[in-house]
Amino acid sequence: MNKQISLSQAIEGFLLAKSAEGKSHYTIRNYTLDLNRLTSFLGDDPPFTAITTDDLRRFLSYLQDEYVPDPQNSSRRLSAKTVRNTYITLSSFWTWAEKEFEARHVVRPIAIPEAPEKVIEPLTREAIEALLDACKYTRPWENRPGTRTRRATYIRDRAIVLFLLDTGVRAQEFCEVTIGEANLKTGKAKVAGKALGRGSKERIVYLGKSARRATWRYLQTREWRRPDDPLFATGSDERQFERNVLRRLLNRMGERAGLSKSVYPHRFRHTFAINFLRNGGNLFELQRLLGHTSLKMVMRYARIAESDTEAAHRQASPVDNWRL
């Protein structure tokens, strides 16, 4: 190996290799973001072999305690999961370098950062109904508190809520699905999911009658409906949604609906999964629909659905209610 290969050169080779393996552009983007942060932290584009385990320990500590991702919000820090994902990127990078030019794997001695599991907070039926109402109307006018006007994007936004709720797709999958990949006659939609370590993995998700009608109605408002066009688009130029745009749209919708907790794409995924199990779906079907490569996350949903059933039985037990 050329001992003077720089960090930037190694990153370039790593990203090319992962792209050739078929990793999704979303995964490549995350790799790039993580490694750009490392480059900025180390400075001066050091020789790759000069980077030590202690350098990476300091980098991970910096991400946990000091790094500010948004200069306009200095109080916000990276989540524990994001720091953990950065560690995974670094480990993948050095594993590639170890195989490619026998570089020493300086990440391996570092323990993977802990990331406590987030509490799963599905949306209730009442919350969904409030969101659908918030799709339709603006907030009350300040000078006329009892007056609300119909929103111009009502038809699209209603279709978005129903599509997310009925399919349980990830935010990036939602953004990338095209008109040609959604068959509104059969209710089948093809999405390009992700499979850990194996790049993109397509799967089929399903839309019920109401979601199909809402999506069809929205498409009739579109000027262009070519197969390669995004199924859901932003603005008059009908651009593909970006994840941050979708998140802002849903969060503002939640604020108009008066919901106390943030609304974001993954809450619809949680809601779909838990209600799928509540309504009689099995774990393996849910695993396939969600595109998970293991049952670990699906089992979390199962525990929530089971606890709901247990609570319902305690409330409805005929023996207890009749005090027999």
Q: Please determine whether the domains at 7-101 and 125-313 fall in the same fold group of CATH.
A: no
pTM of the model: 0.75
Our measurement of the distance from residue 203's CA atom to the centroid of its chain's CA atoms, rounded to an integer in Å, reads 16
Task: Give the CA distances from residue 239 to residues 40, 226, 245, 265, 300, in Å, rounded to whole numbers and listed in that order.
Answer: 32, 13, 11, 19, 36
Q: What pLDDT was estimated at residue 310?
A: 67
Q: Would you say 217 and 194 are in contact if contact means Cβ atoms under 8 Å apart?
A: no
How far is the C-alpha of 256 from the C-alpha of 274, rounded, in Å?
25
Domain coordinates in residue numbering, the chain? 7-101, 125-313
How far is the C-alpha of 295 from the C-alpha of 209, rounded, in Å?
29
- Please compute, for residue 194, the number of CA atoms within 13 A of its CA located in the half-sphere on the CB side: 15
- Give me the mean pLDDT over the 93-98 stretch: 97
pLDDT: is 117 or 159 the higher one? Answer: 159
Q: Give the phi and the psi of residue 126 in degrees, each rounded to 5.
A: -65, -40
Instruction: Write out pLDDT tens, residues 131-179.
Output: 999 999 877 777 777 777 888 899 999 999 999 999 999 999 999 999 9
- Token pair, residue 146, equals 């009892």
Class for domain 7-101, per CATH? mainly alpha
Number of H helices, E strands in the chain: 13, 5
Beta-bridged to residue 145, according to DSSP, are none
Mean pLDDT of the chain: 89
Q: What pLDDT was estimated at residue 313?
A: 61
How far is the C-alpha of 310 from the C-alpha of 305, rounded, in Å?
9
Give, to the nearest 10 degrees, the angle between helix 243-257 and helix 265-278.
70
Type of residue at 290:
L
Helix H or strand E segment including 7: helix 7-20
Residue 88 has pLDDT above 90, yes or no: yes
Class for domain 125-313, per CATH? mainly alpha
